[in-house]
DNA sequence: ATTCGCAGCGAAAACGTTTTCGTGTTAACA
DNA sequence: TGTTAACACGAAAACGTTTTCGCTGCGAAT
C-alpha cells in the first residue's frame, strides 16, 4: 500500500530541488532538456499526479461546484444534476451534492459545511420549509462572502443572484390552450397550495389561459392539494380528493395537473369512473418524467427540460467564477417549456 | 464582498500570535481565560469557520466520499445516493458525485479526478462498458494506493474490496415461486444479455426456481434483450420483441422481468393483446421504482432497497476509513430483497 | 583581464491550519 | 537571594503545490 508520490519524494530520489521537479513537469524552459526528461520519466513511472487539495489551497480555488437540492430521488432534480455535471466536467469542475430534504435546517447546515473552502460556488433549489419561513439569511451571507450562487426552479426575488427558471405561467397556458383547442369546455386544475412558487405560477397561467379563451373560472374546478403530507396514505388522500373533484364536476372534460403524480392519479381515478382517456376526458401534466412516458395511456406533459436547466445554471456559475473581475450583474434565464403530446390528449 | 476571515487576520487584529488564536478557539487550557474570551468573541462576531481545504491538507483527510455511478437519472441509483448521503452526513462526511454514463473512459477519468486528494474513498457501481471489457486496472490501482473502495450492485469478483449486493438469484426465485404459487404454468423471463451480472444472476434464479418446481425451462420463454441500444426507438424494438414473445407462447400466463421497464412494457403489450392482468397473465418486475408503484395495474416487484444498500456501503467505507490500523479484510454484505405484492399478481 | 548575459538550478514564501517545543515572566519556596 | 514550577504565549514545522527571485558558473564580448 504505497501512498501517492509527491514532488518532494521525486526531488529526493533524483537529487534535485522541489522547484526543479515542479518546473520540469510543467515544461518550463528554465530547466535543461536533460533534467526535464529525467524528471518526467520518473514521474510517469510512479504515476505522479498533483495533489488537488494542495492546489486548491494555493490557488484558493477548488474547481468544485456545490449543489443543494431538496431531494435527489426525483426525476427532475436528477436530470438537473446530470446537466450540471455534464458542463462542469467538461470545464474541469467537480460536483458535490448536498440534500436538504426540504428542511430549512439541513439546507443551512449543508451550505455551511460546503462554504468553508470546499467549493467555489453554489447551484441550488430552495427547500419548501425555507420558502415557507421566508428566511434567506444563509443565502445573502454566502453571497456577501464572495461566493456566487445560482438558483434554479425554486427561486426567490429577494436574493440578488443568477437564476434559471422555467416559464411556469407560459407553460401552464400552453397546456390549457391545448385543452381548449382540443375542444374541452370544462377544464380543472390540480395544483398545490400557494406557497410553492411553481404551483402558484402554474395556477396563474391556468387562470390567464381561461381568461384569454373567455372561459369563466370556477372555484370548484380548482383543487389545491396540500403537499406537506408526505405520509404513507398521501396517495389515498390525493386519490380521494380527486374523486371528489370528479363528483362535483360531472361535466369536466379536461384536467391540467401541475405535476406528474397528480396527473397520473387523475387518470387512475378517471379509469375507475369508466371515463375514457382521451375521449371523455383529456389530461395534461407538468414535468416530463418517467411516469409520463410509460403510463398507459402515456401522458401529454409540459416538459421543463431539466437537463438544460442544469447546463445553463452551470454555465452561469462557471462564467461568474472565471470572470470575477467583471462588474456584478445578475441575469435570470428562462428555459422554454415544451408541450410533449402523447396519448392522453386528442 | 469581504473574504472569509482567517486565523492570521484575527491574530493581527487582536495583536496575538496565530497559535494563540487557534488554541483559544479550541479551548486549550494553555490560554488564559481573558484571551480566550476575547478571541472567541471576535471570531464569533466575524463568523469564523476553519478552512476545510487547509484542514484536509494538514490532516491528509478530506472527510469526503466519492461516488461513481453509471447514471443518476435512475430511481435505484438516486435511492442509493440518498442512503449514502444520509449516513455520510451523519458522520461528518460530504459526498461528491461522478457519473460514468456507462462509459469506461469516463469512469477512469472521473476516478482519476477524484483520487488525487479530493476524497478519502470510493463507493461505486461499475459501468456496463467496463464490465464488458473486463478492464479493472483503475480499481486495483486506486486500492493499491491506499484508497478504499466499496462496490455495490454491479460488482466484480476479481477486485478485493468491500461489496454490497442484492441477492439477485434469491430475489428472482422469490418472484418465480410466487408466480408458480399463484397458479402460473408457463412462465417467461425478460432479461438482459449475460454480461450484465445482475441480468445473468436473475436468469439463473429463474432457472433454479423452475427446476425446484419441476417445470421444464423452454428456450422460447427466455427473452434476452440487448440493452446496449439506447437509441430513440429502443422502446419500439423492446415492444416488438415482447410481442414476438407473446406470439410464440400463446399459453404464457406469467412473466418475470428483470427490471421495471421490461415489466411495464410487457403489461402494455398484454393489454394490446387483450389479456387481462392479473387474470390472464401475471407480471412481476425487479427494482422498486416509481413506475411500479404508479402503473395501472400497479406492479408486483422484487424490491432491492436501494436506500439500505447506500447506507450499508457508506457504513462499510467510513468504518474502513476510520479503522485503517485494523488488518485488512473484506466483506460482502447481502441486502435481502423483498417481494412487494401489488395488483399485477393474484 | 574585466564585465556582461544567460542558462540552470535552488531557496523561500505563500495558501490556512494544528501542534510541538521553546521562552519569558511571575509567584512560591528553601 | 537563588531555584523552581506554573502559566501564558510565540516560533516554527508540516501538509503539497507554484512561483518569484537570487545565485552560481561559464562563454562571449569589450
The per-residue pLDDT for range B260-305, each reduced to its tens digit, is 999 999 999 999 999 999 999 999 999 888 899 999 899 999 999 9
The per-residue pLDDT for range A206-255, each reduced to its tens digit, is 999 999 999 999 999 999 998 765 555 788 889 999 999 999 999 999 99
A259 occurs within a structural domain: yes
Nearest CA in chain B to A148: B1
pLDDT value, residue A328: 82
Is the pLDDT at A152 greater than 80? The verdict is yes
Same domain, A212 and A286: yes
Distance A8 CA to C11 C1' (A): 14
Task: Return the minimum-mean-pLDDT range out of A128-132, A190-194, B218-222.
Answer: A190-194
Distance between CA atoms of residues A32 and A23, nearest Å: 10
Q: Which nucleotide is nearest to A18 (CA to C1')?
A: C10
Distance between CA atoms of residues B209 and A197, nearest Å: 52
The band of A3, judged by pLDDT with boundaries at 50, 70 and 90, is confident
The per-residue pLDDT for range B176-216, each reduced to its tens digit, is 999 999 999 999 999 988 777 788 999 999 999 999 999 99
Same domain, B313 and B298: no
Distance between CA atoms of residues A116 and A132, nearest Å: 27
Tell me the chain B residues in contact with residue A54 when contact means C-beta distances shorter than 8 Å: 57, 117
The per-residue pLDDT for range A173-217, each reduced to its tens digit, is 999 999 999 999 999 999 988 777 788 999 999 999 999 999 999
Strand C nucleotides within a 7 Å radius of protein CB atoms? 7-12, 14-21
The per-residue pLDDT for range B94-115, each reduced to its tens digit, is 999 999 999 999 999 999 999 9
Same domain, B317 and B298: no
Instruction: Judge whether A183 is closer than 8 Å to chain B, CB to CB.
Output: no
Closest residue (CA to C1') to nucleotide C15 in the complex: A58
A27 occurs within a structural domain: yes
Q: Which nucleotide is nearest to A14 (CA to C1')?
A: C9
B346 occurs within a structural domain: no
Question: Span B119-131, mean pLDDT?
Answer: 95
Give the distance, in angstroms, between the CA of residue B313 and the centroid of all CA atoms in the same chain. 9
Same domain, A118 and A200: no
CB B299 within 8 A of CB B285: yes
Cell of A204: 396563474
Side-chain half-sphere of B26: how many Cα atoms within 13 Å?
A: 9
Is the pLDDT at A298 greater than 60? The verdict is yes
Same domain, B138 and B180: no
Is the pLDDT at A172 greater than 90? The verdict is yes
Same domain, A86 and A118: yes
Instruction: Judge whether B291 is closer than 8 Å to chain A, CB to CB.
Output: yes
A339 occurs within a structural domain: no
Query: Which residues span the domain enclosing A41?
Result: 7-50
Nearest to A166 by CA among A317, A63, A71, A303: A303
pLDDT value, residue A228: 65
| Residue of higher predicted confidence among A290 and B227 | A290
Q: Which nucleotide is nearest to B33 (CA to C1')?
A: D8
Question: 3-class DSSP state for residue B300?
Answer: strand
The per-residue pLDDT for range B26-72, each reduced to its tens digit, is 999 999 999 999 999 999 999 999 999 999 999 999 999 999 999 99
Helix (H) or strand (E) holding B196: none
pLDDT value, residue B232: 57
Residues in a beta bridge with B191: B224
Closest residue (CA to C1') to nucleotide D6 in the complex: B30
A185 occurs within a structural domain: yes
Is the pLDDT at B154 greater than 60? The verdict is yes
A190 occurs within a structural domain: yes
CB A172 within 8 A of CB A180: no
The CATH number assigned to the domain holding B236 equals 3.40.50.2300
Per-position DSSP letters for B135-154, written without gaps between them = --HHHHHHHHTT--EEEESS
Residues 6+ apart with CB under 8 A from B298: B292, B342, B343, B344
Same domain, A67 and A138: yes
Q: How far is CA B306 from CA A329, B78, B227, B246, B336, in A?
A: 43, 8, 21, 32, 11
Same domain, B155 and B241: no
Same domain, A254 and A240: yes
Give the distance, in angstroms, between the CA of residue B262 and the centroid of all CA atoms in the same chain. 20
Distance B31 CA to C28 C1' (A): 22
Same domain, A155 and A251: no
Distance between CA atoms of residues B270 and B277, nearest Å: 8
- What is the bridge-based pairing of β-strands B300-303 and B338-340? antiparallel
CB B88 within 8 A of CB B94: yes
CB A125 within 8 A of CB A154: yes
Distance between CA atoms of residues B200 and B193, nearest Å: 7
B344 occurs within a structural domain: no
- Number of structural domains (chain B) is 3
Tell me the chain B residues in contact with residue A145 when contact means C-beta distances shorter than 8 Å: 1-4
- Indicate yes or no: CB of A81 within 8 angstroms of CB of B72: yes
Same domain, B191 and B275: yes
Give me the percent of chain A exceeding a pLDDT of 70: 98
A300 occurs within a structural domain: yes
**Secondary structure (H, E, C), chain A:** CCCCCCHHHHHHHHCCCHHHHHHHHCCCCCCCHHHHHHHHHHHHHCCCCCCHHHHHHHHCCCCEEEEEECCCCCHHHHHHHHHHHHHHHHCCCEEEEEECCCCHHHHHHHHHHHHCCCCCEEEECCCHHHHHHCCCHHHHHHHHCCCCEEEECCCCCCCCCEEEEECHHHHHHHHHHHHHHCCCCCEEEEEECCCCHHHHHHHHHHHHHHHHCCCCCCHHHEEEECCCCCCCCHHHHHHHHHHHHHHHCCCCCEEEECCHHHHHHHHHHHHHCCCCCCCCCEEEEECCCHHHHHCCCCCEEEECCHHHHHHHHHHHHHHHHHCCCCCCCCCEEEECCEEECCCCCC
Same domain, A257 and A281: yes
Amino acid at each position: 500500500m504505497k501512498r501517492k508520490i509527491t514532488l518532494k519524494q521525486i526531488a529526493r530520489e533524483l537529487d534535485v530541488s522541489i522547484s526543479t521537479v515542479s518546473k520540469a513537469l510543467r515544461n518550463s524552459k528554465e530547466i535543461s532538456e536533460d533534467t526535464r526528461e529525467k524528471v518526467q520519466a520518473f514521474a510517469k513511472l510512479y504515476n505522479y499526479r498533483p495533489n488537488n487539495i494542495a492546489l486548491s489551497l494555493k490557488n484558493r480555488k477548488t474547481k468544485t461546484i456545490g449543489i443543494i437540492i431538496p431531494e435527489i430521488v426525483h426525476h427532475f432534480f436528477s436530470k438537473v444534476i446530470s446537466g450540471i455535471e455534464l458542463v462542469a466536467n467538461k470545464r474541469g469542475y467537480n460536483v458535490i451534492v448536498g440534500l436538504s430534504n426540504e428542511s430549512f435546517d439541513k439546507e443551512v447546515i449543508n451550505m455551511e459545511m460546503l462554504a468553508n473552502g470546499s467549493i467555489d460556488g453554489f447551484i441550488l433549489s430552495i427547500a419548501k420549509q425555507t420558502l415557507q419561513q421566508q428566511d434567506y439569511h444563509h443565502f445573502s451571507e454566502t453571497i456577501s462572502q464572495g461566493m456566487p450562487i445560482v438558483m434554479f426552479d425554486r427561486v426567490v426575488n429577494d436574493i440578488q443572484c443568477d437564476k434559471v427558471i422555467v416559464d411556469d405561467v407560459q407553460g401552464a397556458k400552453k397546456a390549457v390552450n391545448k385543452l381548449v383547442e382540443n375542444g374541452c369546455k370544462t377544464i380543472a386544475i390540480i395544483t398545490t397550495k400557494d406557497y410553492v412558487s411553481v404551483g402558484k405560477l402554474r395556477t396563474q397561467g391556468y387562470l390567464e389561459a381561461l381568461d384569454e379563451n373567455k372561459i369563466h373560472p370556477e372555484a370548484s374546478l380548482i383543487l389545491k392539494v396540500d403537499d406537506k403530507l408526505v405520509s404513507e396514505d398521501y396517495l389515498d388522500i390525493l386519490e380521494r380528493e380527486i374523486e371528489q373533484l370528479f363528483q362535483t364536476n360531472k361535466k369536466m372534460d379536461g384536467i391540467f395537473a401541475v405535476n406528474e403524480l397528480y396527473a397520473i392519479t387523475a387518470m387512475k381515478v378517471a379509469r375507475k369512473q369508466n371515463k375514457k382517456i382521451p375521449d371523455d376526458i383529456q389530461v395534461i401534466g407538468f414535468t416530463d418524467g418517467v411516469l409520463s412516458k410509460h403510463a398507459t395511456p402515456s401522458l401529454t406533459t409540459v416538459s421543463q427540460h431539466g437537463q438544460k436547466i442544469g447546463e445553463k445554471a452551470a454555465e452561469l456559475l462557471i462564467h461568474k467564477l472565471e470572470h470575477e473581475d467583471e462588474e456584478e450583474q445578475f441575469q435570470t434565464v428562462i428555459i422554454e417549456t415544451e408541450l410533449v403530446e402523447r396519448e392522453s390528449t386528442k
